[in-house]
Amino acid sequence: MKTLVGKFESFTDLEQYRSALKDRAAGVDCVIRVCCGPGCIPKGASKVYEAFRQAAEEADDKTVSVVPKLTGCQGLCECGPIVTLDPGGIFYQHVQEGDVAEIWRESVLGSGVVDRLLHHDEKTGQAARTTEGVPFYQGHQRIALALCGVIDARSIDDYIAAGGYQALAKALGSMKPEEVLDEVYRSGLRGRGGGGFLTGRKWRSAREAHGEPKFVIANGDEGDPGAFMDRALMEGAPHAVIEGMIIGGYAIGSSNGYIYVRDEYPIAVQRLRDAVAKAREMGLLGENILGSGFSFDIRISRGGGAFVCGESTALMASLEGRVGEPRAKYVHTVEFGFRNKPSLLNNVETWANVPAIIGRGADWFAGIGTAKSKGTKVFSLVGKVKNTGLVEVPMGMTLRQIIYQIGGGIRGDRPFKAVQTGGPSGGCIPAAYLDEAVDFDRLTELGSMMGSGGMIVMDEDTCMVNIARYFLRFLKEESCGKCTPCREGIAQMLHILDEIVGGRGTSGDLERLQELAVLLEDTALCALGKTAANPVLSTVRYFRDEYQEHIENHRCPAKECRGLFRYQIDAAACTGCGVCRKKCPVEAITGKKKEPHLIDADKCTNCGTCFDVCRFAAVKKV
């Protein structure tokens, strides 16, 4: 298909192009959207897409016009690869390369569905034809992710056809920079990367700051374990981030943008690079954008694999080609940031909200969410939840709605124990607070935080001491090592936790942990260190008994900490197959063929081999 124009020179050019694209789309009979998001790619989505693409290319019946689209995340990672078809909005899950021919026959050429690939209700078994019948999709409201999963992630045409760059045209064409700023301020948008600082206020400071040139930076260094919101966004709708940044540049008077992307996200890097190149080629980036006289360009920078670079000053140091060490923020980065110039840094999700706010207005945005947390938030819902996936919901939805309605509840219908939010700076929230509304302030009050939006669900098999230890170990490895409290203090806390889960805890450990937590909060240089104790504090606050069981009785109630529980063979379930006896490395298991076996507790080293190899679930943890 040939390109309609070269470079847009005016707002009219863009609108004419958009209507031409719409006309072209109107002639399409069938659109096939293959999810190639973070969850679906590893499950073979690329092959599925390739098969559809080939089928569309080779279809001998040219009377049908079929457009296969490679999209970003469509949400329900659990059931990937996901394929949706229009017209009809047919929703297929677990699609493999081999299913493509059948879908083609039934739903592309015919008007039927492939029943086995539809979503079936867990209890009633009833098939859902579209996402409307899939519980996971109920209650979503997509703003940042509006076009992620809908458009072809690689196509600027798709983005434009769906209304992309309309907000930019509006801002440049009919709004003064101050008006753009006011709009963002009035929307109540707060930073989606962690702290939840009021975005409009930050923009204003950046605009008022002295010093030239000014810089606009997008933080795509998503590093919280269990979080993939930003990855999905950058891969699935890169232009939403770019458009937001251009608008931001216009508002504060900057012509230079940087997107800092996590090294572990090569697809995101590629998509953004391609998107920037394409936008530049079409005159949406570069000199004199849309003939407005405003110029702005973006450079993509890859991280080097350091969690601390998600911190703004460390990120800027890294952009400057240095070690990602944070520095004091007594003078803010909006005044004195990248290259010691005023720098406006926002998370990629924050940026992706901007076009919607400008396009639809601050009042519309402020009408969504809670009193002090406006709009929606993207979460990656993971862990021991039935529907792992990417969720964007209005602020204020309860944890229960997110975990039980959207997430489908806990795997194996086991009891819920806690949900970890906010990554390593966040905390674990127990069942008693499941009905709390999720917003910035409430999560902070609960001893956790919104963070970037990771939501890790845990069931009763998860040891809360061990999870606190996990996060501390993570932070110990990711601490830059510059300041004493973070480097030494985290190592000290981890040492105490190692002793506790090893059954060597002593009375006073909890007090020592709390004392260190205060020390870190008071004296660490950056947020990574200041909040490092949160996973420990929140678990001590809500699961103190569990700590005490470890310390006083050397028992792990969740039966996760090796050595703090025993293995026992359930005589009723044991068939006497002898596999455990043969596999036991220390010959601690005895028993005759076809008779229940027995573990000698004195010889047993609690290695867990018998538990792993038993095919009859006869080995129990007690």
Partner 1 sequence: MPTVTIDNQAFAAEVDETILQVAARNGVWIPTLCYHAALEPYASCRLCMVEIDRGGWWQMVTACNYPVRRDVTVRVESERAIRARRGVMRLLLARAPESPELRALASRLGVTQTDFPTVTEAEGNCILCGLCVRACEERIGTAAISLTGRGVERKVSAPFGEPSEECILCGSCAAVCPVGTIRLEVHGDEWELVPFGKKGPAQRCAACGAVLTAELVREALARRGPAAVQGILAGEELCARCKRKKLVGQLLAAGGSGAPSAPSER
Partner 2 sequence: MSQPQLGPPPTCQSPEHTCGVSVVHEIIERYGGNPEMLIPMMQDIQAAEGYLPREHLRTLGRELGVPLSRIYGVATFYAAFRLQPKGKHTITLCMGTVCYLKGADQISAVIQDEFQVKPGGTSPDRKFTFAPVNCLGACALAPVMVVDGEYFGGLSASSAVDILQKIASSKKPSEAVAKADAKQKTAAQKNGRGSQNP
Angle between helices 509-523 and 544-553 (to 10 degrees): 130
- Alpha helix positions (H), 282-376: 312-319, 348-360, 362-366
Q: Which residue, among 601, 603, 602, has the nearest Cα to 622 in the 3D structure?
A: 601
Task: Tell me the closest approach of the beta carbon of residue 299 to partner 2, in angstroms.
Answer: 9
Determine if 225 is a binding residue for partner 2 (CB under 8 A). Answer: yes
Q: Which residues contact 176 (CB under 8 A, 6 or more apart)?
A: none
**Residue 216 engages partner 1 in binding (rule: CB under 8 A):** no
The distance of closest approach from Cβ of residue 312 to partner 2 in the complex, given in angstroms and rounded to an integer, is: 17
Taking the complex as a whole, the smallest distance from the CB of residue 508 to partner 2 amounts, in Å, to: 28
| Burial class, 50, CB count within 10 angstroms (exposed 0-12 / middle 13-18 / buried 19+) | middle
Q: Residue 3 is which amino acid? A: T
Three-state secondary structure string covering 40-98: CHHHCHHHHHHHHHHHHHHCCCCCCCEEEEEECCCCCHHHCCCEEEECCCEEECCCCHH
Of the candidates 49, 307, 416, 433, which one interacts with partner 2 according to CB under 8 A? 307
Would you say 279 or 517 has its CB closer to partner 1?
517
313 binds partner 1, rule: CB under 8 A:
no
- Could you give the count of Cα atoms lying within 13 Å of 491 in the half-sphere of its Cβ? 10
Does 344 bind partner 1 (CB under 8 A)? Our answer is: no
Instruction: Give the span between the Cα atoms of 453 and 153, in whole angstroms.
Output: 22
Cβ atoms within 10 Å, residue 48: 29
Distance CA 150, CA 72 (A): 8
* Residue 264 binds partner 1 (CB under 8 A): no
Name residue, tokens 């000053």.
Answer: 313
Q: Which residues contact 114 (CB under 8 A, 6 or more apart)?
A: 92, 99, 102, 103, 106, 107
Residue 483 engages partner 1 in binding (rule: CB under 8 A): yes
Between the alpha carbon of residue 92 and those of residues 76, 78, 259, the distances in Å are 11, 13, 34
Q: Which two tokens stand for residue 528?
A: 């990574």
Using CB under 8 A as the criterion, what x/- string covers residues 145-184 for binding partner 1? Answer: ----------------------------------------
304 contact, one of partner 1, partner 2, none, CB 5-8 Å limit per kind: partner 2
Instruction: Say which entry of partner 1, partner 2, none residue 318 contacts (CB below 5 to 8 A, set by partner kind).
Output: partner 2
| Number of Cβ atoms within 10 Å of the Cβ of 94 | 16
Is residue 284 involved in binding partner 1 (CB under 8 A)? no
The option from partner 1, partner 2, none interacting with 495 (CB < 5 to 8 A, set by class) reads partner 1
Which of 33, 36, 38, 119 is in the footprint of partner 2 by CB under 8 A?
38
By the rule CB under 8 A, 536 interacts with partner 1: no
- Binds 172: which of partner 2, partner 1, none (CB < 5-8 Å by kind): none
Coil, helix or strand at residue 514: helix
- Identify the residue among 301, 425, 448, 538 touching partner 2 (CB under 8 A): 301
- R_g over Cα of the chain: 27
- 302 touching partner 2, by CB under 8 A: yes
Any contact of residue 478 with partner 1 (CB under 8 A)?
A: yes
Query: Which part of the chain contacts partner 2 (CB under 8 A), choosing from 83-91, 110-118, 121-129, 225-233?
Result: 225-233
User: How far is the C-alpha of 572 from the C-alpha of 588, rounded, in Å?
Assistant: 20
Binding flag, residue 303, partner 1 (CB under 8 A):
no
The contact mask relative to partner 1 for 485-524 (x = CB under 8 A, - = no) is: x-xxx-xx-xx-------------------x---x--xxx
Which residues would be at the binding site for partner 2 (CB under 8 A)?
38-39, 41-43, 77-78, 80, 222-228, 231, 263-265, 301-307, 318-324, 339, 380, 382-384, 386, 388-389, 411-412, 420, 454, 456, 458, 462, 467, 470-471, 474, 478, 480, 611-615, 617, 619
